[in-house]
Copies of this chain bind each other. A is one copy, B any other.
Amino acid sequence: MARLGEFERIDRYFRPLAAPGALGLGDDAALIDGPTGEQLVLTADAIVAGVHFFSDDPADLVARKLLRVNLSDLAAMGAAPVGYLLTTALPASCDEPWLEAFARGLAADQAEFGIGLLGGDSVASPGPATLSLTALGRVASGRAIRRNGARAGDVVFASGTLGDGALGLKVLKGELPALAPEHCRFLAGRYHLPQPRLALGGRLAGLAHAMIDVSDGLVADLGHICATSGVGARIAAPRLPLSPAAAAAIAAEPRLIAAALGGGDDYELVFTAPGAAAAALSDLAAALALGITAIGEIVPGEGVAVTDRDGQPVAVAAGGYRHF
């Protein structure tokens, strides 16, 4: 039997096991009762050397990305981070200097995000470095922003810029040799060190109807919002917010717009809100010095449709972003 995709595997084998707080495994994180007036938010991700990161990536960046990817899931629920548990299964090649750098990366991000290590496990493995992190956050009771609240008529917004993560991976694989060095550095940095949008996520309660972070790609992740909300979405490709580096890459090679539509690893927030929220969002964008861009709208129906500058449909590869 052919191996099912990971989404299908989760659907078939793990969703039936979900506890009520798991939200059907259909959200960025689980919600459980916390101290009075709060809910605790739990999420976990695993990464494998050679699959989700390069074996020779600097260990401090591997650590920080693993942590930030999980913090991004907390941000996507509107939660604030509390701490994390970490398990490492490491081959002999992850020696003491590697581990020292790995711990240094964690320490840097603990300071940056005001969190601490709560526990974990450290084991040896004959296989590739395999790292699993469970992040714990908190949110005011009833204020978590789910994926299932999008309504027809909502505007779709994205934070920051899209496509940088996927283009950064192309830079690291040597696939964009003609791009200016400063653009290459920027994009590689966006791939290696995502910025979880915790400040923004925490300010969107009462404004956003539905939210997700872009880990698998805009179309795939917005598709999760549409599927769980029972709606469709229309995205205008020319409105996607691009960094100068991504804009330069796409100007030189227009098909690279696919990185902004279907590429993953951006860890920006995509959310839906009524048009009336636009002024408040504009204020918020200014206060946070973070772009918030209207990129489309929620419509009745299903699925995510993308149009080009002439209003013509743009084909996007199904299934979202696939890792290298």
Contacts and interface: CB of A to CB of B under 8 A. Distances in A.
A99 interface: yes
Interface in A35-74: 35-36, 40, 42-48, 50-52
A119 B30 contact: yes
A244 interface: no
A107 interface: yes
Nearest to A48: B125
Interface stretch (A3-11, A260-268, A273-281): A3-11
Given A47-B123, A125-B130, A132-B132, A116 B18 contact: yes
A102 B13 CA distance: 9
Contacts of A123: 6, 46-48, 51-52
Interface in A140-184: none
Contact of A89 (B42, B48, B116): B48
Interface of A: 1, 3-4, 6, 9-10, 13-14, 16-22, 25, 29-30, 32-36, 40, 42-48, 50-52, 82-83, 85-89, 92, 95-96, 99-100, 102-103, 106-107, 110, 115-128, 130, 132, 134, 136
